[in-house]
Amino acid sequence: MTKYEELQEYLKNNQSTWLISGVAGFIGSNLLEKLLVLNQKVIGLDSFDTGYQKNIDEAILDANEIVGKDVSNNFKFIKGDIKSFNDCKQACNGVDYVLHQAALGSVPRSIEDPISTNEANIDGFINMLVASKDSKVKRFVYAASSSSYGDNADLPKVENMIGNPLSPYAVTKLVNEYYASVFAKNYDFKTIGLRYFNIFGKRQDPNGAYAAVIPKWISSILNKDSVYINGDGETSRDFCYIDNAVQTNILAAMTENSEATDQVYNVALNDRTSLNELYRMIEDSLIKNVKGLEKKEPIYRDFRPGDVRHSQASIDKAKELLEYEPQFRIAEGLNEAIGWYINSLK
């Protein structure tokens, strides 16, 4: 039995209270579903700036189907904004574990609007950090980012080797790590940061100017629209399925390893897939599963400012200190995600 399997069995019989900021978002709603399945009490905080009520509703519905009974009584929603310290303070009251997912994502958005990115990702982060500390939560786990590696070209990415940030978004996520470290040193406050590498899966929004590549491409192919690739398509990423990210959040929150706290970890597969490879994998899977679709060449355009050329993460540290064991490789994750999008985008 893996450590994650052990923890799931423990949680089913031992109820705690968890706060998920950004609960209406992609990752937040998947965390909500999993914690409800594990019989945990969950407080969700969201302003709906980028999240959706439908994500919360679907997470609860899916949890009910898995458990076989209504678990909605274990969930309390607070409509609030992390930019408001009072909202953060209210949400943290009586909480055991905080999973801080709320942020304003997207490198291009941060380049276009650095002020809003700073307000959400730095002001909002310090609000959540202080509120959590004051409420004496047991563990503060936060969404960090692979963008923190900046212009460091070394592969695979190792946690203690970072370069210069390439976007305002990257700056904000790096500042989060500095703040978390300072709080650990000055207040003995237990934090863990998770540097997400291109997380994908169900409930990731395919619409909007800043949609992630996988849901956007799936939606475009299903609608027989053109697919655009920035650059020559040989840019590569370490794509990681959502269930692996959920696993690391729970492992980080529950770890009893004293060496594991006040740390940041890569959440990835230690793998690389080019955009050209990714496009073919998605197209082949959709053609196989949906009648009427035919192969179509993507349209290539200029490289996007602020993007790194290649990204691949070492996960040795997470394996060693958190006992992280990815359950889904990219092909398995894509099959799961594509099945969900086919049903949801009908």
Name the pLDDT band for 163 (thresholds 50, 70, 90): confident
Residue 346 pLDDT: 61
Q: Strand pairing of 236-237 and 273-274?
A: antiparallel
Residue pLDDT, tens place only, 85-138: 999 999 999 999 999 999 988 888 899 999 999 999 999 999 999 999 999 999
Name the pLDDT band for 156 (thresholds 50, 70, 90): very high
Residue 310 pLDDT: 87
User: Mean pLDDT over residues 41-66, rounded?
Assistant: 96
Residue pLDDT, tens place only, 181-207: 999 999 999 999 999 999 999 999 888
Q: For the whole prediction, is pTM greater than 0.85? A: yes
How many beta carbons lie within 10 A of that of residue 50, not counting itself?
20
User: Mean pLDDT over residues 292-315, rounded?
Assistant: 87
Distance CA 24, CA 47 (A): 9
Residues with active-site annotation: 169
Instruction: Say whether pLDDT at 345 is over 80.
Output: no
Contact 261, 183 (CB under 8 A): no
Domains in the chain, ordered, with CATH?
3-200+240-270+314-327 (3.40.50.720)
Residue 29 pLDDT: 97
Residue 212 pLDDT: 84
Question: What is the separation, in whole angstroms, between the first and last Cα of the chain?
Answer: 38
Residue 211 pLDDT: 66
Instruction: Say whether pLDDT at 6 is over 80.
Output: yes
| Average per-residue pLDDT for the chain | 94
Name the pLDDT band for 276 (thresholds 50, 70, 90): very high
* DSSP H helix total and E strand total for the chain: 13, 13
How far is C-alpha 105 from the chain's CA centre? Answer: 10
Residue 105 pLDDT: 83
Instruction: Say whether pLDDT at 210 is over 70.
Output: no
Residue 303 pLDDT: 86
